[in-house]
Amino acid sequence: MPIGTPFHERTEEHCKNKDWKDWAGFFTANSYNVVNDFEYFAFRHSAGLIDITPLFKYKITGADSGSFLSRLMTKDISKLRLNQATYCCWCDNRGMVVDDGTVMRLEENEYFVTAADPSYSWFNRFVKTSDVTIEDVTETMCGLAIQGPTSRDILKKMCDADLDNLKFFWTTKAKVDGADFFISRTGYTGDLGYEVWTENENAIKLFDAIWAAGKGYNIRMAGIAALDVARIEAGLVMNGVDYHSSLHALTPAQMSTPYELGLGWTVNLERDSFMGQKALKKEKKEGSKWATVGLDINWPELEEIFNEHNLAPHTAAGAWRDSIPVYHRDDVTRQIGYATSGTWSPAVKKNIAMATIEAAYAKPGTKVNFEVTVEHQRRTVSAIVEKPQFFNPERKRSNPKK
Amino acid sequence: MSKVDVIVIGGGHNGLTTATMLAKKGKSVVLLEKRNILGGIAAGEEFHPGYSTSGLLHDTSAVRSNVIKELGLEGHGLVVKNTRPTVSILADDGRSIELNGDTATAAQNIAKISEKDGKAYTDYRAFLDKISKVINDLFDNPPPGIDVENLTMSSLVMLAKKGLALKGLGKKTMLELLKVTPMCLNDFLSEKFETEFLKAGIAGPAIYGTYAGPWSAYSTVNLLIWECAARNTIIGGPQALVEALEKAAKQAGVTIRTEAEVEKILLDDNDDEKVKGVRLKGGEVIEATTIAASCTPKITFLELFDPFEIDYDLDYWIDKVRSRGTTAKVNIALNKQLELNGAAVEFARTGNTFDEMEKSFDPVKYREITTAPILDIHVPSMSNAGLAPSGHSVVSVLVHHAPYNFEAGWSEEEKSKLKDSVLKQLEKYSPGIYDAVEGVEVLSPLDLESRYSLTEGHIYHGEHFVDQLVTRPIPSCAQYDTPIKGLYLCGSGSHPGGGITCAPGSFAAKAILK
Amino acid sequence: MAKKYDAIIIGGGHNGLICAAYLAKAGKDVLVLEKRHIVGGAAVTEEIYPGFKFSVCSYVVSLFRPHIVRELNLAQHGYDIIPMDSSFQPLHNDVGLCRWGDGARSRREIARFSKHDSEVYGEFGKVMTHMARLAKEVIDHPAPDVASINPKELASLLRMGKVFKNLGPEMLQMNTKLLTMSSADFLDLWFESEVLKGPMAVSGVIGTFLGVRSPGTAYVLLHHYMGELDGAFRSWGFSKGGTGGVSDACASAARSYGVEIRTEVAVSHVKIVNGKAKGVVLANGDEIESKIVISNLDPNRTYLKMIGENNLDADITTEIKRFKMRGSSGKVNFALSGLPQFCKGREGDEYMRGDIAIVPNVDYLEKAYDQAKYGEFSERPFINIVIPSLTDPTLAPPGKHVMSCFVQYAPFDIKEGPEHWPQLSEKFGDAVQATIKEYVPDFDSLVLHRQVVTPWDMQETFGLTEGNIFQGELTLEQLLFQRPIAGYAKYKTPIDGLWMCGSGTHPGGGIMGSGGELSAKTILNDKAI
């Protein structure tokens, strides 16, 4: 049975519709109200607050921790400066992705890593004789993500951290009512946003301070349903949905490389050896088999199919996570890939999806066919291949002008 | 910085074999031995002033004839008899059976105790003779490679044909072989023999160095392999073999360096999956594109490389190789000729009953040690009087089972307790032995590890168990080469395994030359 | 002139009933003869104490082949399995370890003992399930004869080979290890906690006369990942109304196809004329004729009692005598006035609804075995406890419970001699009760009735030679083409017209139904009738 996070007594008050989900063994609100569009709109127009405690969290310490992480991660972590954060993935030695997450350098020799899957045993397997200690803080530390255009103002109001100068993917320490916490300018919405982390015992203090500060800025609790819409618009892949960890995959076909996931930009290939480097070099040279793309699904064609049934067009409320076949543009019997998640995007007003397709069809602008089920009939509509990132506002990375 | 064709790590019998074979083919070879003497577990050493052993292990009966021939060891003074040594099987009630190398004589000796068993022994040897070719094929050839990726109808037909080759045994023998291999020694031998101490004595070699008792399934495999492989007697024991090997090596031009401890295997700067040479303790670097390691697979991969230098699944699987030491060594200097159950013998085994043998193994599982160990006894001074003062004897005892992983820890006190249990056992067969003891050396599995670089004190560089035979030590290193280019394994951790056979060393040399 | 049947089946165990049902479904005239007053063999429910229904011997269902359920419409005949959700291991001075269907919940429980283990636990299950596909291939077909180069046999090997191939080299290596290693050593490849490894390792030795450190026990672990209930690979379940429910469903299905079942009819031996089976001779001297005879009895009884040594070659007799039957387990069933509490620190009874395994660690288990090796029953045995009345209220009066304890080791060949088991029976029961008391201090006060089933009882009452619950040990040399003996592994015997269908044939024991199904299909294929 899932357990509550340290924020549970607060989130429970807000969760009017009792729509709880089990996220890695914790109760997490899928949505806070029956109609939950506003949770999404908070991300884009004011601020949405999400309990992200269920993420797996590790503290990696010791003199060799930087070089250790550099060996494990696709990115050269040794280049990470104090208080800097980065997003990357980690692979097995076949170059297949094990998981993805953020790495933050909190002290000279202390890193904070978040992951989607339990990773203690995987990390620990490589410690061997090096001066590295891995501490699983998943159940002793908690986190809230505050995401949206007013998130900076809210945090500025509740603590003294210099947020005007905190750049995208940097961290800072802060205090609230005597309790320590730290802020990272990171998130999973593709918008201006922060994640705040603290020890469990400070949870309620931190929550209340943010909530109080947010009153004037239309802060709202947001559930993972809203988060899903935002992250698909932002083109952010999800472990277990858009790909499978190679540790859980039962066959090679279920595994993916960073390049295939569109995470090639997180791979620092030319450096001292790291896990999967050889295979990734080979792939880089020879090309990938698969690619992760965005699909812009043709709306008029969908409308037309609905018309045939004398119905107005509609899509599922919120995001979906089913596997949907994607076919060749000229041949609807030739499957060239599959969509793994999708949503109606309120930000770009398009029906979009994230898909894994054969690399040959991955060029933006390529036309493909996408399966839709309307009134129990399977049909296809056309779709245009795009980059997965549909939404990327300037405010995400910018800082206020001085 | 020097440069050679081949570096051989470790100067045991296998290292010497590999080095000599390669040097004979014109390679420049340097052999690096950590200790100040050559021979590894086959080296004889003084353990008490005036008393020397002829090697940590006793048994030279499985040294491969083709290696002796190929290296011309007989030309270097090695004397080999083509029969198995005679071993005395001891019972604690004073009886003993001389298990002669010659089957007929052995059967006659057994018949004196039990007529039924005398007959059974003849049948048993006849069965062994029938399967001997199949098993010796295994010893005289590198392991068969099985290509999993291409497991198709045709490869299955090939396998079926190999099955037919097995059929050369005759269907009955083949079915019998398939039937008995998974069996435990107790089941297998109890079907044949009735005399308890005889069964226990025959089973001995199958138990030595294993994490098993006679009740453990598959223990019969080890018995069949040993019985078929053991064919020779080397006069002077392991030490004589080492001396001949050393002479052969020197004559072939091998550069032998003792007290040269390899600290690290170096990888090529441009290709991190290829060897470049080694660095010795003290910093000296020797370059070579080929390295043959006769040390244990765990030392080779887990100690001579830095973490991350090799693929994690390679070191993962190497780490999973089981090498739980269960053997200790007790060397005794005796001021008289040793007699066991009233006779002076060179080789003897105790065991008495399967239950007693099993009970000597039981405590190992709980990280404890038995007070009634099974003994594998060798009196090398019988055939080599020079090892002890005149009229005195050297008693070399391999003690089973003494766990490496010993909860109480291998303190001097525990070693002394072990000495007492061994002497107490010996007293049963040789009353009054206490008074004749001049000196005793006890080597715990921990001592074996530190003196002979045996991981976890395991005398065979890894347990002889079905999944660790043939694909030894792990499938990706089973053909002596490894996923690291230029690095070969040539020690007991490779097929066909531990004990003094020289077979891994010779196959590795052949793999390198290929 | 008495009626002549197409087939007579000796023994109304679940395999015999299934074999009968398949033959009758194919239009054959079949008679099943059962010695006891009820059918089911070792899969029976009996009301030993008024109001309490015990699954006397076999007590959980997992491996029953789903296609048999479909093909014989068993669900319509009352086959109903209630899945078990948890597996609890009580510990002294601790709340113990409970593993649940809920992965995250199990992870938290295991992490109390080892963080590493908690994370690889799920992984391990996946790999095992993956490998179990292989085993499924093996158990759902007659055993290929490796000694043969007949293309048919090769094709069947190839089919297995293909599954192997798809595993990849790493899995193949894992597979070799799985087939040969001890379950404790195999688990060491994955886990570090001795507490967690205890209950996991034990599934490798259930019903065998081997310890968890005995080589060759690892592959039995697969059985835990092979169970299929309701279309999903899920492990274990209770049969509604006790395990006898499975047998009753099989019997009902058999009758629906026209099988005649007679109980309290003991067969003395098979009537053999000129090396051919012609029917059976009953204990009372009556004879019943049939075209073929199928024995659901174990190999020892089939060959040595039903056929008789005088009808067998000496070689065959020797081989059958080599077939190891050594029983190693007993059952103790309790009628309880209330629910025992195995753990004060846990609320409710949810944690007791699955199985409760008394096996605090690997050493405990191995020590229990060590004692058995030398001819004693374990003073502190492994006990697998289920309280099926928690999920199936039809088994006991309201508020009261039946508790079934599978106990290992209890060697048939006890050092006093197996015939002394009846005198040792209560002492054995006391040892079990004392072991339980270590975890449930007030246990004695709950006990209304205790039934002790020793290996001797299993032999004398249930006809299992030496009390072996699998009709012969499941060691590698007694499996596949060697079950029960090489040359007669395909349900045939050296006697023309005499077949076998019990657990002593491929693929072996447990409530699988495979012996019954595969023997019937082989008989029909061979056009033996």
We report the CATH number of the domain holding residue B8 as 3.50.50.60
**Any domain includes B54:** no
Residue C261 located in a structural domain: yes
Residues B349 and B440 in one domain: yes
Write out chain B residues lying below 8 Å of C482, CB-based: 178-179
Nearest-by-Cβ selection for B467 from C176, C477, C487: C176
- Which chain B residues in 252-311 lie under 8 Å from chain A, judged by CB atoms? 272-273, 307-308, 311
Same domain, C136 and C200: yes
ipTM of the complex: 0.88
Question: In angstroms, rounded to a whole number, what is the distance separating the alpha carbons of residues A249 and C233?
Answer: 17
Which of A2, A22, A250 faces C130 most closely, judged by CB atoms? Answer: A250
Ordered per-residue pLDDT tens for chain C, 529 residues: 578 999 999 999 999 999 999 999 999 999 999 999 999 999 999 999 999 999 999 888 878 899 999 999 999 999 999 888 889 999 999 999 999 988 899 999 999 999 999 999 988 888 887 777 777 777 787 876 655 556 566 566 656 656 555 556 666 677 778 878 899 999 999 999 999 999 999 988 988 899 999 988 888 887 777 765 454 445 678 999 999 999 999 999 999 999 999 999 999 999 999 999 999 999 999 999 999 999 999 999 999 999 999 999 999 999 999 999 999 999 999 999 999 999 989 989 999 999 999 999 999 999 999 999 999 999 999 999 999 999 999 999 999 999 999 999 999 999 999 999 999 999 999 999 999 999 999 999 999 999 999 999 999 999 999 999 999 988 878 888 889 998 898 999 999 999 999 999 998 888 899 999 999 999 999 999 8
Residues of B in contact with A125 (CB under 8 A): 312, 316
Residue C170: what pLDDT?
A: 65
Is C75 found in the same domain as C133? no
Residue B162 is classified by DSSP as: H
Under an 8 A CB cutoff, do C104 and A247 touch?
Answer: no
Residues B100, B171: one domain? yes
Claim to verify: residue C211 and residue C188 sit in the same structural domain: yes
Are residues B332 and B439 located together in one domain of the fold? yes
Question: In the B/C pair of chains, how many CB contacts fall below 8 A?
Answer: 97
Res B338: pLDDT: 94
| Residue B56 belongs to some domain of the structure | no
**Domain stops at, among C232, C263, C278:** C232
Residues C215 and C305 in one domain: no
Same domain, B132 and B223: yes
Are B370 and B285 part of one and the same domain? no
DSSP SS3 for A319: coil
DSSP codes joined into one string, C270-330: EEEETTEEEEEEETTS-EEEEEEEEE-S-HHHIIIIIIIGGGS-HHHHHHHHHS-----EE
pLDDT at residue A273, rounded to an integer = 86
Distance CA C292, CA C276 (A): 9
Please indicate, yes or no, if residue B405 is contained in any of the structural domains.
Answer: yes
Contact C115 A121 (CB under 8 A): yes
What's the structural domain count of chain B? 2
Residues B350 and B375 in one domain: yes
Residues B281 and B350 in one domain: no
Same-domain status, C226 and C125: yes
* Residues B177, B37 within the same domain: no
Whether the CB of C123 is below 8 Å from some CB of chain A: the reply is yes
Instruction: Give the DSSP H or E segment for C467.
Output: none
Q: Which of residues 210-239 of B touch C (CB under 8 A)?
A: 212, 215-219
pLDDT of residue C138: 74
Domain co-membership, B96 together with B205: yes
Does the residue B329 lie in any domain? yes
Q: What is the dihedral of CA A62, A66, A71, A73, to 10 degrees?
A: 120
B139 and B267 share one domain: no
Fold exhibited by the domain A289-386: Elongation Factor Tu (Ef-tu); domain 3 (2.40.30)
Structural domain contains residue B355: yes
Cβ-Cβ contacts under 8 Å between A and B: the total is 17
Say yes or no: C218 and C249 in one domain.
no
What kind and span of H or E run contains B349? Answer: strand B347-349
Q: Does residue C257 form part of some domain?
A: yes
* Residue C115 near chain A (CB below 8 Å): yes
Task: Compute the distance between CA of residue A137 and CA of residue C24 in angstroms, rounded to an integer.
Answer: 63
Looking from the CA of C171 toward its CB, the CA atoms found within 13 Å total: 20
Residue B105, pLDDT score: 96
- Is C12 part of a structural domain of the chain? yes
Pair B414, B348: CB distance under 8 Å: no
Identical fold at A8-55+138-222 and A289-386? no
**Whether residue C280 sits in one domain with residue C201:** no
Same domain, C253 and C224: no
Q: What is the CATH topology of the domain spanning A8-55+138-222?
A: Gyrase A; domain 2 (3.30.1360)
Is residue B57 a part of any domain in this protein? no
Closest Cβ–Cβ partner in A126, A130, A278 for B312: A126
**Residues C220, C260: one domain?**
no
The DSSP result for C382-437, as a single string, is EEEEE-GGGT-GGGSSTT-EEEEEEEE---SS-TT-GGGHHHHHHHHHHHHHHHHH
Residues C124 and C221 in one domain: yes
Same domain, B150 and B284: no
- Chain B: residue nearest A94 by CA? B311
Instruction: Give a yes or no: residue C161 inside a domain.
Output: yes
Domain range for C194: 120-232
Q: Are B216 and C149 a contacting pair at CB < 8 A?
A: no
Query: Would B51 be classed as within a structural domain?
Result: no
Chain B environment of A277 (Cβ under 8 Å):
none
Domain finish residue from C175, C198, C232: C232
Please tell me the distance in Å from A225's CA to the nearest CA on chain B: 38
Same structural domain for residues B68 and B92? Answer: no
| Contact between chains at A248 and C107 (C-beta distance less than 8 A) | no
Exposure string (b/e) for C108-121, b if CB count within 10 Å is 16 or more? bbbbebbbbbbbbb
Residue contact A25–C108, C-beta within 8 A: yes
Shortest Cα–Cα distance, A278 to chain C (Å): 20
Chains that touch A (3 or more CB pairs under 8 A): B, C
Is C496 within the bounds of a domain?
A: yes
pLDDT of res. C124: 87
Residue at B48 is within a domain: no
What CATH superfamily is the domain A57-137+257-285?
Answer: Aminomethyltransferase beta-barrel domains (3.30.70.1400)
Contact: A126, B308; criterion CB under 8 Å: yes
* pLDDT value at residue B149: 45
Domain range for B315: 2-43+62-78+236-321+473-513
Residue that finishes a domain, picked among C232, C254, C280: C232
Total number of domains constituting chain C: 2
Q: E-strand spans in A24-165?
A: 26-31, 47-51, 56-61, 85-91, 97-107, 110-115, 133-136, 141-147
Nearest-Cα distance to chain A for C232, in Å, is 17
Using a CB-CB distance cutoff of 8 angstroms, which residues of chain B are in contact with residue C168?
148
Which pLDDT score, from 0 to 100, does residue B150 have? 45
> Taking the alpha carbons of B55, B56, B59, B63 in that order, is the dihedral positive or negative?
negative
**Considering B448, B465, B482, which residue would you say is the last residue of a domain?**
B465
pLDDT in tens, chain A (402 residues): 899 999 999 999 999 999 999 999 999 999 999 888 899 999 999 999 999 999 999 999 999 999 999 999 999 999 999 999 999 999 998 999 999 999 999 999 999 999 999 999 999 989 988 899 999 999 999 999 999 999 999 999 999 899 999 999 999 999 998 999 999 999 999 999 999 999 999 999 999 999 999 999 999 999 999 999 999 999 999 999 999 999 888 888 999 999 999 999 999 999 988 999 999 999 999 999 999 999 999 999 999 999 999 999 888 888 999 999 999 999 999 999 999 999 999 999 999 999 999 999 999 999 999 999 999 999 999 999 999 999 999 999 999 987
Hey, where are the domains in chain A?
Answer: 8-55+138-222, 57-137+257-285, 289-386
Stretches in chain B below the pLDDT threshold 50: 148-156
